[in-house]
Amino acid sequence: MKKIILSVVMLAAVDSYAAVSEDSKIFTPYFDMTLMEAAYLPSKGNIFSGGNINTQVGLLTKITKNDSVFGLYNFNYTGPAFQPQDSKQFTDRNMSHGFNFEYRRNLGEKFRVRPGVSLVTDYSRSGANEAWQNGLYNMSSKGGQLAADYNFDFDRNGFLTATYIVRKITFPNYTDLLREFKNANNTAETSGGLQDQSLTQFSFRPNWNGFFAGYTYTQQIYKHQMVVDAHSGVYGSTKQKDKSTMIDGGFRQRLWIFDLSPMLSYTIHRSNQNYLRYKSALGGDITNMADGSNDITMVAKNYDYNELTFSVPADLNITGKWAIGGAINVTRRVYTDRGARNVDNNYTASKQHNLMSTLTGSIRKRMNDVATMRLFYSLVVASSNNKFEKYMPSNYTGNSFGVAYQLSY
């Protein structure tokens, strides 16, 4: 869930800059629509279909030579799909509406500032097909940004961007069922709003000649969620706080008949939250919470991890219209303190680590200057030393094949 929030916020921030090229026109419309639909066949579970729709509609209005306003609406739907371990169920879906408004002011030839506001509503839906309005993790986010660009090489599109964003994020439907059950007379006040948080993010991104890199620091401060004390196992007086630092880099280049866009990122995530694992609701032995096979086990720093991701997509242009594509995506997450669990839900001595690799082969057809179509097949291999898979699979393989369209102006 935290990753979804980060993705939504970061997409909104990145898209608002990358959306349009400015020219001498007063109005410059922007339209980008991507559609992907695929069939998924996992080694555990039955075949299912899923897809992704992303529609961005924007308008850049040039008021004066140095002042412009950019508005962008973004509709995004993410359907059922294979998911990295410890994230979501295959059948979970998300749909979001995002609005970004940005004022752009040129300061001389090389500098530009971009204050802006952002509103996002995100709906989530599980495999139970509840109404979109009733999703447990429905989220709304509002906030502002201040970005500054420094253009140091006009010929090779070289610029530095620093962005500071602030978001207030609420989860109106989120509740703690256990607390409601235990405190039935006073439910709404005590069990709601536990995911509500404020998010601040600072990023610094240099770009030059198709090469890019970035440093992003994100902090999430929870409004109501308290930290479980690592010694007593009960909620204390400290509020949950998560921090995430990401460094990434890559390039987009055309080399001979190849289009290459490799990317590498490394994320360090830290949280002050701990985790009290109950093997069953009836477990009550709190005498030895450090024992990984006890009914109740305390896992301090359960959510801390380091994650390495790299992807190497490449297209081999056979003709001007046709290309063969291949891509490798690898995500490896290592938990710093969380032990791996065996099939009996007992913690082992080794720390949990997950690996998810995706190998994709595709055929791309460029339909005209603005539209492309891609047929693809992907093989996903997910492995982990966590063998307790009663609720979510950690070790599986999966095949998917589908079609994707993109139309962008």
Partner 1 sequence: MKKLILILAVLLCLGGRSFAAVDWESKGMQLAGEIVANPSAFFYDFQQDLEGTTPLPPGKRFSVQTGLFPSLLPMGYMNLSGKYRLHGEGRIAPGVPQLDLIGGYCDMYWAKMLAKQSDSIDSAKLNGYYLGAILSSSVSPKIRTFWGYKRSVLGAKFEFAPGEELDLMGTKVGNIDTGFKDDFLMAGIETPKGINKFWSMQLNYGIRTQTFSTKLSWYGPHFELGINIYPEGVLVFHPVWNFHVNF
Q: Given the rule CB under 8 A, which residues bind partner 1?
A: 29, 31, 33, 35, 37, 41-47, 49-51, 53, 55, 57, 75, 77, 79, 93, 95, 123, 129, 132-133, 324, 359, 361, 363, 367-371, 377, 379, 381, 397-399, 405, 407, 409
Q: How far is the CB of 131 from partner 1 (least distance, A)?
A: 8
Smallest distance from partner 1 to CB 33, Å: 5
> Quick one: 339 or 393, whose CB is closer to partner 1?
393
Residue 369 C-beta: closest distance to partner 1, Å: 7
Nearer to partner 1, 31 or 204 (CB): 31
Helical H runs in 1-41?
A: 2-18
Residue type, 61: T
Judge whether 274 and 302 are in contact, CB under 8 Å: yes
Q: How far is the CB of 9 from partner 1 (least distance, A)?
A: 22
CB nearer to partner 1: pick between 46 and 287: 46
Between the alpha carbon of residue 232 and those of residues 180, 274, 275, 327, the distances in Å are 22, 11, 12, 48
Closest CB 55 distance from partner 1, rounded Å? 5
Q: Which is nearer to partner 1, 208 or 377 (CB)?
A: 377
Nearer to partner 1, 199 or 382 (CB): 382
What is the smallest separation between the CB atom of 368 and partner 1, expressed in angstroms?
A: 6
For 47-78, give one letter per residue: b (16+ CB within 10 A) or e.
Answer: ebebbbebebebbbebeeeeebebbbebebbb
Nearer to partner 1, 22 or 285 (CB): 22
HSE-CB of 123 using CA atoms within 13 angstroms: 14
Separation between Cα atoms, residue 145 and residue 60, nearest integer Å: 18
Look at phi and psi of residue 345 and say left if phi exceeds 0, alpha if psi is from -120 to 50, else beta: left
With residue 207 as reference, give the H or E element that holds it: strand 197-208
